[in-house]
Chain A
């Protein structure tokens, strides 16, 4: 911990954020160590490893990566688990040691917020544009150049609902047979 702290002092604001997170994690450490850890099973190790990525095998989750480096990482997870660390603490430890790239998703801080914010904004913008586009289309005069044969009068549709589909289909069939 001392090593990490001294490292932090020499680094940028990003690290200060990490520091804050670490500070929050400290009481949890004390709490977690009270619990009886037992011997961690492979499944418990894999459950954590599944959500992490080792830089040695890019884009392959840690639980299935076959390199020696990843085997050592899994052994480390097991060791930390047997010491009673929680999943969040272990993840934080790996982030401190190896950087944010070990996480399956960028941590929600700083520039990384863009990852989460841009897609919904883009999608909402798309929805807005689509609705506006549709409205503007509605304003175009129907007689401009629309193909009248393409749609039946609305009244027929309302009055003879059951036959609407059949009528439409028959119309299509008739046309395709011409």
Chain B
């Protein structure tokens, strides 16, 4: 770009002295575009994961048994969106608690637990799900779309979404107890 400028001004001396010429416009425009891209990238980096109070990004989860779950169809329900992977040791800490919590809420019908398997391989994921007897729907994060939408930094991370599709709680790292899970879901149900 800058080179355009260099040589061009040589050839079009007359224009250079009379005012703005296309070379200058290109250079300034190029700089502006570059700075904008970098600024947007920086903004994204600085944002971190999606935070409480924001609208939860919409997603479609295709479960391991081929079922389609669209977040749009779940309006009116509380969604517990858990990101995990079979290679992730900390995930194992919370797996049993999550399942217990699911058993506890399942009958009410207004709480949905969803497991998103991040950058994982299916055979190992199935072993993991069987090991912890996980019964709520789980599926791979196809194309890492859901994790990108939530800008997760790693696994496990859990996002609690209320009936209106607003994110109310973000759990970075594993839940350490069952009561910790119920403590963030119960307030939403009492409303």
Closest to A100 in B: B143
Q: Is A178 an interface residue (CB 8 A)?
A: no
- Partner of B87 from the list A4, A72, A97, A132 (CB cut-off 8 Å) is A72
Give the number of residues in A that approach B within 8 Å (Cβ atoms): 34
Known A-B contacts A3-B62, A6-B66, A72-B124; the reply to A125 vs B4 at CB < 8 A is yes
* 6 tightest Cβ-Cβ pairs between the two chains A and B: A133-B7, A99-B143, A68-B87, A136-B11, A72-B121, A69-B87
Q: Which residues of A contact B115 (CB under 8 A)?
A: none
Closest to A131 in B: B7
Q: Which residues of B contact A133 (CB under 8 A)?
A: 6-7, 10-11
Q: Which residues of B contact A137 (CB under 8 A)?
A: 10
Known A-B contacts A67-B87, A79-B123; the reply to A129 vs B8 at CB < 8 A is yes
Q: Which residues of B contact A68 (CB under 8 A)?
A: 87
- Partner of B119 from the list A69, A96, A136 (CB cut-off 8 Å) is A69
Q: Which residues of A contact B (CB under 8 A)?
A: 2-4, 6-7, 10-11, 54-56, 67-69, 71-73, 75-76, 79, 95-101, 125-126, 129-130, 132-133, 136-137
Interface residues on B, range: 20 to 34
Interface residues of B in 42-63 (CB under 8 A from A): 60, 62
Tell me the complex Cα distance, A79–B10, Å.
Answer: 63
Q: Which residues of A contact B7 (CB under 8 A)?
A: 129-130, 132-133, 136
Closest to B7 in A: A133
Tell me the complex Cα distance, A132–B4, Å.
Answer: 11
12 pairs across A/B with beta carbons < 8 Å? A7-B62, A54-B119, A55-B144, A72-B87, A76-B122, A96-B142, A96-B143, A97-B140, A129-B4, A129-B8, A130-B3, A133-B7
Within the complex, what minimum Cβ distance (angstroms) separates A114 from chain B?
13
* CB-based contact B66/A99 at 8 Å: no
Q: Is B68 an interface residue (CB 8 A)?
A: yes
Tell me the complex Cα distance, A101–B119, Å.
Answer: 11
Tell me the complex Cα distance, A140–B63, Å.
Answer: 72
* CB-based contact A126/B119 at 8 Å: no
Closest to A11 in B: B60
Q: Which residues of B contact A136 (CB under 8 A)?
A: 7, 10-11
Q: Is B151 an interface residue (CB 8 A)?
A: no
Q: Which residues of B contact A100 (CB under 8 A)?
A: 143
In addition to A10-B68, A129-B4, 14 A-B residue pairs with Cβ atoms within 8 Å of each other are A3-B64, A4-B142, A54-B119, A69-B85, A69-B87, A72-B120, A72-B124, A73-B121, A79-B123, A97-B143, A99-B142, A99-B145, A101-B144, A132-B11
Per-residue interface assignment for chain B, residues 140 to 161, with 1 indicating a CB less than 8 Å from any chain A CB and 0 otherwise: 1011110000000000000000
Q: Is B133 an interface residue (CB 8 A)?
A: no
